[in-house]
Amino acid sequence: MKLRQPKWKTVEYSRTQIIRAGKTIKKDLFRDEQEREETRKIIDNWRAAHAFPLHIIYTHLRRFAKGNNNIIVAERLKRMNSIISKLKREPNMSLWTMQDLGGCRIIVPSIDDVYKYSKIYETSRKRHHRKKIYDYMETPKESGYRSYHVVYEYHSDSNDAYNNNMLIELQFRTQLQHLWATAVETMGLLTNQSLKSGQGSDDVKRFFALVSSLFAIKEKTTTVPCTPNNPVKIIQEIMELNVKNNYLAQLDGIKEIVAYEQNKLSRKSTYFVLLLNYVSRKLSVFTFKSSEFEEANQKYNELEEQKWCGNLDVVLVRVSKFSDLRKAYPNYFNDITTFTNIVRSYINGDTIP
């Protein structure tokens, strides 16, 4: 029997149209509803066209993780609201040059593994051009975000269809860095604020910056700017903020009131659309086979349209199996017990960084 192949999207608009669509939605310069709809169609097509280059890079990275349960590789297409927020937040940002419309996340045990696997990929047999490196472990963001990002421009010698400024961002991070990042996203969903984009109270942002510095000391890397280098002082300040705001209790409590449901789950399912209602605390998981990218993307678009009508968060991701989905995106399952347990172990003096 002949296997069904995915129907990959190709770019249907010119560079000028894509740039104009980004500028239009950045400034909300719509003449009418028809122009708004056309603008979103252009943005979605440009995003969806990144799926094939993303698939090629993801498949290559998966080979490194084969047989190693300590490595997780996941891919995702950037959320529409995240695209729009980034365009509005960064004055010089262009839709045409946005480098993370397609992203691969590689989660490994240690700092050494981050550099090891990023080097393995860079020196492997590929044709993609490395454009930028962002070492947020050496120079963490003020928010506390730590990771290692490498941006590649997709290139194929045999097929020019996607040799069109297709940028894919690879995020290499340790398991500890991943725990921190997903805890931040979970708190963001709980408070309906994008903490990773700088929203939220000073206290909550300070709390996560301090925890990140504690994790950095544990991993023997650079601490977050404007935080102490002394772990005792860091733990003391974390304790004070937690007593004042009960952050750990909030994060513990959220997992107790989440229910999740999914449609038919096949062993061949690799694309997952996650829809989280952070008022009802209900997660819906829609699954698709590797050959059903078009259907997965249609579902993604349909749910993103609903997003404007309520407190919803939706994302389209790809992993090799369902158990990896929970590990790569625990914030959607509100499964962050490991994070709160580690922070408590520092507060209680059970662990010394």
8 A C-beta contact, residue 234 and residue 213: yes
Tokens of 331: 């914030």
Active-site residue, selected from the candidate residues 12, 33, 153, 169: 169
The count of other CB atoms within 10 Å of the CB of residue 312 is 18
Is the distance from CB of 36 to CB of 30 less than 8 angstroms? Answer: yes
Strands laid side by side in the 259-262 sheet: 129-135, 148-153, 167-174, 102-108, 72-77, 312-318, 269-277, 282-289, 259-262
Q: Are 152 and 167 in contact (CB under 8 A)?
A: yes
Give the three-class secondary structure for 289: strand
State the CB neighbour count (10 A cutoff) for residue 155.
Answer: 15
In degrees, to the nearest 5, what angle opens at C-alpha 138 toward C-alphas 135 and 139? 85
Any catalytic annotation for residue 169?
yes
> In angstroms, how far is CA 312 from the centroid of its own chain?
16
Of the candidates 89, 103, 106, 111, the residue with the CA atom closest to the CA atom of residue 50: 103
What amino acid positions are annotated as catalytic residues? 169
